């Protein structure tokens, strides 16, 4: 992290024939020791998160998700915040680290204390930013021999029945219907994944006793998730439509989680302006790509041109070319030799159309996996075919997830000299950067002006515009899920399956406006920062500087890079 440490000097001042005594030198702060102790407390309280970051002494453990355990976590977070704030006026890098850490605590406290997400939203137990019930680290990362990881997974599976009981006890009835449906899908998907896929991972382990112990724990874990999913299904007849946070909590979410204090009306106006900009660009691209066709027909033409060999093979082929483009055009520094491989998403996480699993900073030599979801098998064949992205659409998904999106960003954050910067990467920073990268790559010449490629980029941009406006509408403006779905179809030109999936996501993930919100903040910062540094010729320098901060709320990065209070975010 390119942060300057303040230097203290003792200055002798002569006045009236006297020599004033030297000013006392600033003593070293207690920040490093306090920071490290607070982080260790955080990891201990969030063992699943710790494992994801590569701290395998926590293998197999899940957090205490009982109501008592959650209350204890709230108390711990407040105490941690008080402890770091009690250090007084820190300077330079230390002040930035503390502001960064406090923002993380406020983020967690909002979801636990203000939104009460553990008691209202099953998706909270799938949160990628803190603890996650996902067993992926034991299955896909070769950090230890297979039998060692099998023992860790067995311990994890043994903890699942208690976790399922805690989740069920926490959830207050009646639940909002789309939130209950997310839990049904996720927990039911986990049950099937445990039963069908996990045994294949450990099939080569020859230890009969270990296999027996694993099978018993895995069967119980599958049953626990299956029962939890079935219980949620029984709640559907009494489920409500009360998924909205409301304007007050939504505004608190924006500040507590991302340090954005812009009024909601201004945010909505900025999002609509960006959507209109992208819609105009889509009209122009389609006029060149499919003259005389409607926008829907133009996108259908792009979508019909599928990547050869399917999405996994197609995306794999795209990554090599994208990395070369990033290096050759000087998009940003590539700080290491790591690569990402592509795979189909596990069924329990198929609601996320694409995502990447990147090992944390404590892992060494582990591969990152770029997952792409197959269509829902319950959809019609036509809906399933439409759901599969066209070649150009897939290209910008690969940009978003790998080069120069999430994968490159985490190559930087995992090497950050700040422990806080290595461990804590926020939603708007990560998704904002990845979404920003899509448009930036087109602007830097990816596709060489090919209109089909531009249609692919704009398809992704408009999808994120609809997320942004849906999040605001669903949670502050009385928008219904049906109205959100209609927006995705009519204003973002999404297919039926994608529109249905994305509208539902907005109910249980109100922060999914962070893709476009983060992008807009980065674009504004780029404009302001490069204005005195050569404009477009300074983009690489800007990208490297931006990525050097880890992953804090973007307004904190803006303050660091602009050297002032920061100025307008949008």
Strand partners, 369: 341, 357
- The verdict on 214 and 95 lying in the same domain is yes
CB 259 within 8 A of CB 107: no
On whether both 232 and 257 belong to a single domain, the answer is no
pLDDT, mean of residues 231-250: 98
Residue 101 token pair: 């850490």
Cα–Cα distance between 133 and 131 in angstroms, integer? 7
pLDDT over threshold 60, residue 290 = yes
Please name which of 155, 273, 166 lies closest in space to residue 217, comparing C-alpha atoms. 155
Cα 341 to Cα 366: distance, rounded to the nearest angstrom: 11
pLDDT band for position 353 (cuts 50, 70, 90): confident
- Tens of pLDDT, residue by residue over 29-71, are 799 999 999 999 999 999 999 999 999 999 999 999 999 999 9
Q: Which helix (H) or strand (E) holds 19?
A: strand 18-19
Give me the pLDDT at residue 8, please: 35
* Confidence band for 348, pLDDT divided at 50, 70 and 90: low
Overall number of domains in the chain = 2
What is the model's pLDDT at position 167? 98
Rounded Cα gap, residues 536 and 131, in angstroms: 40
Is residue 13 assigned to a domain?
no
Q: Which of 210, 238, 266 is the last residue of a domain?
A: 238
Q: Can you say how many angstroms the Cα of residue 39 is from the centroid of all Cα atoms in its chain?
A: 20
CA distance linking residue 63 with residue 54, whole number of Å: 16
Would you tell me how many other CB atoms lie within 10 Å of the CB of residue 87? Answer: 15
Element (H, E) at 343: strand 340-344
Q: Are residues 426 and 496 in the same domain?
A: yes
Beta strands (DSSP E) in 152-210 are none
User: Which bin fits 334, alpha (ψ -120 to 50), beta or left (φ > 0)?
Assistant: beta
Cis status of the peptide bond prior to 164, with omega within 30 of 0: no
Tell me, yes or no, whether 210 and 283 share the same domain.
no
Is there a domain that residue 79 lies in? yes
Note whether 230 and 257 are same-domain residues. no
Are residues 216 and 257 part of one domain? no
- Using alpha carbons, list the distances in angstroms from residue 137 to 152, 449, 477, 541: 10, 40, 39, 34
Give me the phi and psi of 340, to 5 degrees please: -120, 145
Which pLDDT tens digit goes with each residue over 462-497? 999 999 999 999 999 999 999 999 999 999 999 898
Q: Are residues 114 and 40 in the same domain?
A: yes
In a domain, 426, yes or no: yes
CA distance 68 to 70: 5
Is 567 inside any structural domain? no
pLDDT cut 70: percent of the chain above it: 94
User: Structure tokens of 536?
Assistant: 């477009």
- Hey, is 224 helix, strand or coil? helix
Q: How many CB atoms lie within 10 A of CB 29?
A: 17
155 in a domain, yes or no?
yes
pLDDT-derived band at 341 (thresholds 50, 70, 90) equals: very high
Final residue in a domain of this structure, among 208, 238, 268: 238
Flag whether pLDDT at 215 surpasses 80: yes
Element (H, E) at 249: helix 247-258
Is the dihedral angle over the CA atoms 180, 186, 190, 193 positive or is it negative?
positive
Q: Is residue 371 assigned to a domain?
A: no
- Residues 549, 535, 459, 288, Cα dihedral to 10°: -160
Cis ω for the linkage preceding 318 (within 30 of 0): no
**In this predicted model, which residue has the larger pLDDT, 19 or 261?**
261
User: Cα(159)–Cα(156) distance, rounded to whole angstroms?
Assistant: 5
b or e along 138-149 (b: 16 or more beta carbons within 10 Å of the residue's beta carbon)? bbbbebeeebeb
Q: Which two tokens stand for residue 553?
A: 């709320």
**Among 77-81, 83-87, 247-251, 306-310, where is mean pLDDT lowest?**
306-310
* Per-residue pLDDT at 333 exceeds 70: yes
Q: Tell me if residue 188 falls in helix, strand or coil.
A: helix
CA distance 238 to 432: 37
pLDDT digits (tens, 9 = 90+) for 261-280: 999 999 999 999 999 999 99
CA angle 563, 565, 566 (to 5 degrees): 75
pLDDT at 27: 45
145 plus 233 within the same structural domain: yes
The verdict on 146 and 277 lying in the same domain is no
The label of the residue with tokens 């890079």 reads 561
Please state whether beta strands 368-372 and 340-344 pair in parallel, antiparallel, or not at all (unpaired).
parallel
Q: Is 74 exposed, middle or buried (0-12, 13-18, 19+ CB in 10 A)?
A: middle
* Helices and strands counted in the chain (H then E): 25, 5
Neighbour-count burial of 201, counting CB atoms closer than 10 A to its CB (0-12 exposed, 13-18 middle, 19+ buried): middle
Residue 365 belongs to some domain of the structure: no
Hey, CA dihedral for 116, 121, 125, 130, is it positive or negative?
negative
- Statement to judge: residues 231 and 260 lie in one domain: no
Q: Does residue 216 have a pLDDT over 80?
A: yes
Q: Is the pLDDT of residue 24 over 60?
A: no
In this prediction, residue 345 carries a pLDDT of 86
Q: Within this chain, do residues 73 and 195 fall inside the same structural domain, yes or no?
A: yes
**Residue 228 contacts residue 187 (beta carbons within 8 Å):** yes
Residues 234 and 260 in one domain: no
pLDDT digits (tens, 9 = 90+) for 119-142: 999 999 998 889 999 999 999 899
Give me the domain span that covers residue 494.
253-307+319-333+381-562
Predicted pLDDT of residue 375: 84
> Where is the domain boundary, 186, 210, 238?
238
Task: Quote the tokens at residue 412.
Answer: 């930087």
219 inside domain = yes
Alpha carbon distance 332, 187 (integer Å) = 39
pTM of the model: 0.91
Mean of per-residue pLDDT scores for the chain: 93
């Amino acid at each position: 992290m390119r942060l300057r440490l303040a230097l203290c000097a003792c200055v002798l001042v002569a006045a009236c024939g006297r020599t004033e005594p030297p000013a006392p030198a600033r003593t070293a702060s207690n920040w490093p020791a306090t920071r490290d102790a607070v982080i260790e407390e955080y990891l201990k309280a969030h063992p699943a998160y710790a494992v994801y970051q590569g701290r395998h002494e926590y293998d197999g453990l899940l957090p205490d998700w009982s109501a008592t355990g959650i209350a204890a976590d709230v108390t711990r977070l407040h105490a941690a915040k008080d402890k770091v704030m009690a250090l007084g006026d820190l300077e330079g890098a230390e002040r930035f680290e503390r502001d960064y850490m406090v923002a993380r605590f406020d983020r967690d406290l909002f979801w636990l204390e203000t939104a009460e997400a553990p008691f209202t939203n099953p998706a909270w137990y799938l949160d990628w930013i803190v603890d996650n019930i996902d067993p992926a680290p034991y299955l896909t990362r070769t950090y230890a021999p297979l039998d060692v990881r099998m023992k860790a997974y067995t311990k994890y599976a043994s903890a699942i029945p208690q976790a399922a009981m805690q989740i069920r006890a926490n959830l207050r009835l009646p639940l909002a219907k789309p939130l209950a449906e997310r839990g049904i899908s996720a927990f039911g998907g986990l049950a099937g994944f445990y039963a069908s896929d996990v045994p294949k991972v450990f099939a080569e382990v020859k230890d009969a006793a270990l296999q027996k112990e694993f099978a018993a724990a895995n069967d119980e874990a599958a049953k626990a998730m299956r029962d939890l999913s079935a219980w949620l299904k029984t709640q559907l007849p009494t489920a409500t439509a009360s998924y909205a946070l409301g304007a007050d909590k939504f505004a608190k979410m924006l500040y507590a989680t991302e340090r954005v204090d812009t009024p909601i009306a201004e945010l909505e106006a900025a999002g609509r302006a960006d959507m209109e900009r992208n819609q105009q660009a889509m009209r122009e691209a389609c006029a060149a790509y499919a003259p005389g066709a409607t926008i829907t027909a133009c996108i259908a033409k792009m979508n019909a041109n599928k990547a050869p060999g399917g999405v996994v093979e197609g995306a794999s082929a795209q990554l090599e070319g994208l990395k070369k483009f990033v290096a050759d055009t000087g998009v940003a520094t590539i700080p290491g030799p790591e690569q990402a491989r592509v795979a189909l998403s596990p069924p329990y996480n198929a609601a996320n159309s694409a995502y990447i699993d990147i090992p944390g900073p404590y892992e060494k030599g582990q591969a990152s996996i770029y997952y792409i979801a197959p269509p829902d098998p319950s959809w019609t064949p036509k809906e399933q075919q439409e759901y599969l992205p066209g070649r150009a659409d897939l290209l910008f998904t690969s940009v978003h997830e790998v080069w120069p999106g999430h994968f490159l960003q985490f190559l930087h954050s995992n090497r950050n000299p700040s422990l806080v910067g290595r461990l804590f990467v926020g939603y708007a920073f990560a998704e904002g950067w990845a979404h920003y990268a899509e448009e930036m790559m087109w602007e830097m010449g990816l596709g060489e002006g090919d209109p089909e490629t531009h249609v692919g980029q704009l398809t992704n941009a408009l999808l994120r515009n609809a997320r942004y406006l849906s999040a605001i509408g669903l949670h502050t403006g009385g928008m219904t899920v049906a109205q959100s779905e209609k927006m995705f179809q009519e204003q973002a030109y999404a297919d039926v399956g994608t529109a249905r999936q994305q509208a539902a996501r907005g109910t249980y993930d109100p922060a999914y406006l962070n893709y476009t919100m983060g992008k807009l903040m980065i674009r504004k910062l780029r404009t302001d920062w490069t204005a005195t540094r050569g404009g477009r010729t300074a983009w690489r320098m800007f990208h490297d500087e931006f990525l050097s901060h880890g992953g804090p709320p973007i307004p904190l990065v803006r303050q660091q890079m602009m050297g002032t209070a920061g100025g307008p975010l949008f």
